């Protein structure tokens, strides 16, 4: 438990019960158990109580009651986070899943206003029902919720074209640590009236306030798509191909994923995916173009740019999906290597970013350094290379015991993060800082930057009640 958080005061449980009703309060250990461990299974939390408000007003009342009692609060959305930010350690757990209404879709304004507990996939569906498109897309979209996406500034597969979550947020409604409600649900594209307060809460991981609703940007709905899987000449060709694709497509490329041979073999080994090309290659790119006009131009653009890349020797082979089913099969390669990696051994995972042009250099440097540090280690470097984000996962050597390998986690992290820092990169690209990367923030961020963050935290949450022990 955070040392500033006192035990639940007498009468607080009853007061919270009056606020949220019987459906909004639980201390049942079986109900709480799955909410107190993260997706990786490595990190666990503890709490005696979960409160689930059904409205912004209830959230505000809960926060005020906890503030009076001196009890900390940890907000939780879909519990799909990977850095422990959503796990309490003695504080009250505040679930936002009951706040799941789509408040408004304005097709003419290209906006959607939703509550924080809306599942991401449901936000996407609500946009499509209005013939619009909400581009945030990631593997957990069937269970993660928009409040968590905002609090972590989630990325995903479409960042190269549409940006991170931060670029998709027009306005926010936030309950502040003292229980005040900031009504910032604006739909304006231009608003120069002082500080852009919404940006304080995007990526703050619930440490500055609780996001209860958001107004989000929508886009024209894509009506054409073309998906390709290309074998690269070498790792450097990943960046060369990206430049060719962007220049030749009118920037209609929406996804660009790097996949190593090892990743393809993982899915194939467990029957989850198949190799779409006749010969084996070291590196591949999964590419998707999308178009908002049904003029039949999307696939020809992709064919033409791939032909240029083939002629220039940047790629050595490629296939283009002939149907949505084949497109899904190609994407399954990307999904399966993540889903089944755990079956081939323990994995030490990293979510890092470097300037796009330096992705190959990062992978080579990190691979070489780790081969010396942990002989036999098996790197699996993949991800959203179009925006410089590498998911750099490292599987245990075949001749090493799991426990011995896991014990090297801190040592492995240091090699990876030092390599990343040397290339002007970030140790967290889209997963956040949470509880497990706080020391990395101190190690790799300038003193002035940390002081600014602490000043903001102290100004908004001087008693450190809001998700204490996370980020800072």
Per-residue pLDDT reduced to its tens digit, 112-168: 999 999 999 999 999 999 999 999 999 899 999 999 999 999 999 999 999 999 999
* DSSP reduced 3-state for 22: helix
* pLDDT at 8 (0 to 100): 75
* pLDDT at 10 (0 to 100): 72
Q: 224-341: same fold as 102-220?
A: no
Number of alpha carbons in the 13 Å side-chain half-sphere of residue 140? 18
Distance CA 58, CA 346 (A): 42
Residue with token string 């986070």: 81
Q: At 236, phi and psi to the nearest 5? A: -60, -30
Looking at the structure, give the CATH architecture of the domain made up of residues 224-341: 2-Layer Sandwich (3.30)
DSSP state of 369: H
Third-level CATH fold of 345-431 = Alpha-Beta Plaits (3.30.70)
**Pairing verdict, β 73-76 and 92-95:** parallel
Q: At 316, phi and psi to the nearest 5? A: -115, -10
* pLDDT at 98 (0 to 100): 97
Contact predicate 137/189, CB 8 Å: no
* DSSP reduced 3-state for 373: helix
Domain borders along the chain are: 102-220, 224-341, 345-431
CA-based diameter of the chain, in Å? 74
Number of alpha carbons in the 13 Å side-chain half-sphere of residue 48? 10
The CATH number of the structural domain formed by 102-220 is 3.30.465.10
Residue 117: which of 171, 78, 156, 163 has the closest Cα? 78
Distance CA 90, CA 364 (A): 42
Contact predicate 220/132, CB 8 Å: yes
Regions of the chain where pLDDT drops below 50: 1-6
* pLDDT at 66 (0 to 100): 95
* DSSP reduced 3-state for 192: coil
pLDDT digits (tens, 9 = 90+) for 280-296: 999 999 999 999 999 99
């Amino acid at each position: 438990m955070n040392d500033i958080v006192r035990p639940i005061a007498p009468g607080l449980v009853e007061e919270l019960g009056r606020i949220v009703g019987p459906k909004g309060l639980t201390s049942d250990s079986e109900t709480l158990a799955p909410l107190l461990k993260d997706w990786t299974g490595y990190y666990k939390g503890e709490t005696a109580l979960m409160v689930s408000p059904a409205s912004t007003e209830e959230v505000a009342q809960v926060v005020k009651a906890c503030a009076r009692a001196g009890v900390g609060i940890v907000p939780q959305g879909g519990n799909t986070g990977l850095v422990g930010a959503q796990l309490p350690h003695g504080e009250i757990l505040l679930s936002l899943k009951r706040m799941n209404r789509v408040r408004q879709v304005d097709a003419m304004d290209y906006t959607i206003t939703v509550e924080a507990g809306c599942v991401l996939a449901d936000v996407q569906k609500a946009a499509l029902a209005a013939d619009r498109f909400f581009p945030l897309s990631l593997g957990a979209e069937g269970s993660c919720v928009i409040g968590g996406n905002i609090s972590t500034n989630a990325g995903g597969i479409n960042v190269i074209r549409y940006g991170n979550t931060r670029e998709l947020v027009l306005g926010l409604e936030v309950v502040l640590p003292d229980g005040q409600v900031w009504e910032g649900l604006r739909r304006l594209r231009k608003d120069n009236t002082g500080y852009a307060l919404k940006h304080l809460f995007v990526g703050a991981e619930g440490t500055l306030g609780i996001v209860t609703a958001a107004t989000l940007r929508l886009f024209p709905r894509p009506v054409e798509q073309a998906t390709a899987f290309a074998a690269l000449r070498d790792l450097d060709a990943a960046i060369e191909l990206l430049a060719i694709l962007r220049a030749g497509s009118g920037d209609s490329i929406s996804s660009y994923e790097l996949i190593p041979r090892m990743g393809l073999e993982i899915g194939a080994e467990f029957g989850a995916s198949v190799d779409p090309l006749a010969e084996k290659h070291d590196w591949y790119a999964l590419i998707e173009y999308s178009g908002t006009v049904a003029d039949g131009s999307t696939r020809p653009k992709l064919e033409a740019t791939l032909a240029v890349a083939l002629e220039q020797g940047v790629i050595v082979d490629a296939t283009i999906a002939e149907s949505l089913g084949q497109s899904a099969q190609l994407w399954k390669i990307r999904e399966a290597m993540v889903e089944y990696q755990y079956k081939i051994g323990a994995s030490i995972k990293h979510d890092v970013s470097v300037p796009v042009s330096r992705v190959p250099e990062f992978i080579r440097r990190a691979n070489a350094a780790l081969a010396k540090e942990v002989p036999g280690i098996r790197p699996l470097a993949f991800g959203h290379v179009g925006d410089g984000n590498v998911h750099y996962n490292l599987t245990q050597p075949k001749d090493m015991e799991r426990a011995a390998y896991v014990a090297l986690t801190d040592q492995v992290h240091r090699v990876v993060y030092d390599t990343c820092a040397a290339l002007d990169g970030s140790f967290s690209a889209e997963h956040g800082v949470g509880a497990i990367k706080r020391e990395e923030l101190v190690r790799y961020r300038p003193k002035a930057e940390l002081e600014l963050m602490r000043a903001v935290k102290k100004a908004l949450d001087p008693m450190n009640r809001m998700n204490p022990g996370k980020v800072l």
